[in-house]
A and B are shown apart, each in its own frame.
Chain A
Amino acid sequence: MHKYGDVIVPIGPQHPALKEPESFLITLRGEKITASSVRLGYNHRGIEKACEERTYTQGVYLIERVCGICSHSHSTAFVQAVEEIAGVEIPARAKYIRTLIAELERIHSHLLWLGVAGHEIGFDTLLMYTWRDREVVMDLLAKLTGNRVNYGINTIGGVRRDVSVKQKEEVLKAIDTLEKQTKYYIDLATKETTLLKRLQGVGVLSHEDAISLGAVGPTGRASGIARDTRKDDPYAAYGELDFKVISVDNCDVYGRTLVRLGELIESFSLVRQVIAKIPDGPITVRVPRKIPAGEVLSRYEAPRGEDVHYVRSNGTEKPDRVKVRAPTLANVQSVSKMLEDRYLADMPIVIAAIDPCFSCTDRLIALRDTQTKKSNTVIWETIRLKGIEWYKQQGVDFTALNKKLSKKLHL
């Protein structure tokens, strides 16, 4: 038996290892973590409600500010949803420009992550190196869109800026530089003992746990879930482009590093394909101010994983309801699993490995019973059953298919 009891250490909302205000309660026995819980909400601003008070066009710029790292992801997911409700098909050139910006954003986000991961393991040289290279892509984004972050390139019905021939050349040149540097980082990550010792076997999330906890993006792909919205449900120009979904079976922080580095190389190839294939033509179509009634769920593969936006319109120029499900919300549950039985010193890198973005995550849902006025919690199983019921009413029945699948997966 242990001589001493467990100690609860509060970490955050202001903490050197966390760049954002969030709070973790870590239960320790000696140096080992026995349990942990996350407290979200410090960043909750009420964007979803604010969207309902603004027109669709104003909403694009507000939604963009859900997150300052994957701002293009949120705005694209939102405009895609609105365009689908309105029944508008955007020009092919606009689709390609959206894809170009999306991939450049992925490059900047993954380079940023690599630097942050370096910082969290006490390897600040890596932070300085990657962030120096990241400025190449930031300059490129500034030239193409007019701003370093919060690009404002999306509008309902297309994009706001065209890409000139000269800009295309600049993009290709910058991509060459970045590819050379990324290859150096891949070499570093696979050979440098400091990195290997610090990343391998840390923050393990098994394949089964990743599925049951609903991990998305690089976190899921590092645990062998080869899922990528760009491939599974192509949007923008991804259906016409050729790329691989990177997934590995390492299940640890090292695996997540490999996935992100691999995705960087894929992104460079995607950018080159976009530049080669981009068709001529207009970049916007006119969309009426009033959007007809309807509801749409829009999916988008953000650098951190699948980003889901739900938009419901009621026939006016303002949305009736906007719901954002950011990738970090799907991944944050897996953190407590990864931290179990690990040392406290591994906590920063394990949290950083899911590339958390808490400004994306802090959306609030409070369910209240209309009769008793009491708030109640809905468990995952209830939502799942409700979903199955809803689809059955629509005439879609997956029961037979599910049985087949469970036999195949030996569940």
Chain B
Amino acid sequence: MGMISKIINWSRLKSPWVLHFNTGACNACDIEIIAALTPSYDLERFGVVLKATPRHADVLLCSGPVTKQIESRLVRIYEQMPEPKFVVAIGSCACSGGVFNGCYNVAGGINSVIPVSAYIPGCPASPKAIIDGVVKLLRSLETKERKSGGKK
């Protein structure tokens, strides 16, 4: 592994850029994601920065059950993200469909459409849970990297 890719990996772990996408949520989880980024919880101290476009993002934060309208858009956004990419399902609805499971316009949880790396349950997932989930995801990547000797 070259020096440059080592630096890229290190910076990815130290400063993951996230994209938030609402796939049909009731807004509660979305607001909690923003709350996690603001002063009292301050997710930014882990280097997490909210980005505006999928092309800049390492981690996709999804909230809400996937409605049939948004399904193709979610796949498109996922495909636009550069490799390696991770998806975090935030809230009970994103994990499994939650209370909306079985509704005629709901396809189910995020994992019924795209692969998911981490699940954060809760209705809504509290900012503390979101921080815990994101940090756990980063830790797991760190150990994976160490085990493979810095190789992907």
A20 neighbours in B (Cβ, 8 Å): 22, 27, 30
**Majority DSSP secondary structure for residues of A touching B:** loop
Distance between Cα atoms of A16 and B50 in the complex (Å): 10
Q: Bin the interface of chain A by size.
A: 35 or more
In the complex, identify which listed stretch (A128-136, A231-239, A336-344) lies at the interface while the others stay far away.
Answer: A128-136
Distance between Cα atoms of A50 and B67 in the complex (Å): 14
Distance between Cα atoms of A135 and B106 in the complex (Å): 32
Which A164-221 residues have C-beta < 8 A from chain B?
Answer: none
**Majority DSSP secondary structure for residues of B touching A:** loop
In the complex, identify which listed stretch (B5-13, B34-42, B112-120, B139-147) lies at the interface while the others stay far away.
Answer: B34-42
User: A294 contacts the other chain (Cβ, under 8 Å)?
Assistant: no
A359 & B35 in contact (Cβ 8 Å cutoff): no
A50 & B26 in contact (Cβ 8 Å cutoff): no
Give me 17 other A-B pairs in contact (C-beta within 8 A), A44-B105, A45-B65, A150-B124 excluded: A13-B70, A19-B27, A42-B69, A42-B73, A43-B22, A44-B24, A45-B67, A46-B100, A65-B100, A65-B123, A68-B27, A69-B28, A115-B38, A134-B35, A138-B35, A150-B26, A359-B24
Q: Which residues of A are at the interface with B, using a C-beta cutoff of 8 A?
A: 13-14, 16, 19-21, 41-47, 49-50, 61-62, 65-69, 71, 112, 115, 127-128, 131-132, 134-135, 138, 147-150, 357, 359
A-B contacts, 29 of them at CB < 8 A, read A14-B21, A14-B54, A16-B53, A19-B20, A19-B22, A20-B30, A21-B23, A21-B24, A41-B69, A43-B22, A43-B24, A43-B25, A44-B24, A44-B67, A45-B67, A45-B106, A46-B103, A47-B103, A61-B99, A62-B99, A65-B123, A66-B26, A67-B26, A69-B27, A131-B35, A131-B39, A131-B40, A149-B124, A150-B26
Q: Which residues of B are at the interface with A, using a C-beta cutoff of 8 A?
A: 20-32, 34-35, 38-40, 52-54, 64-65, 67, 69-70, 73, 77, 99-100, 102-106, 123-124, 126
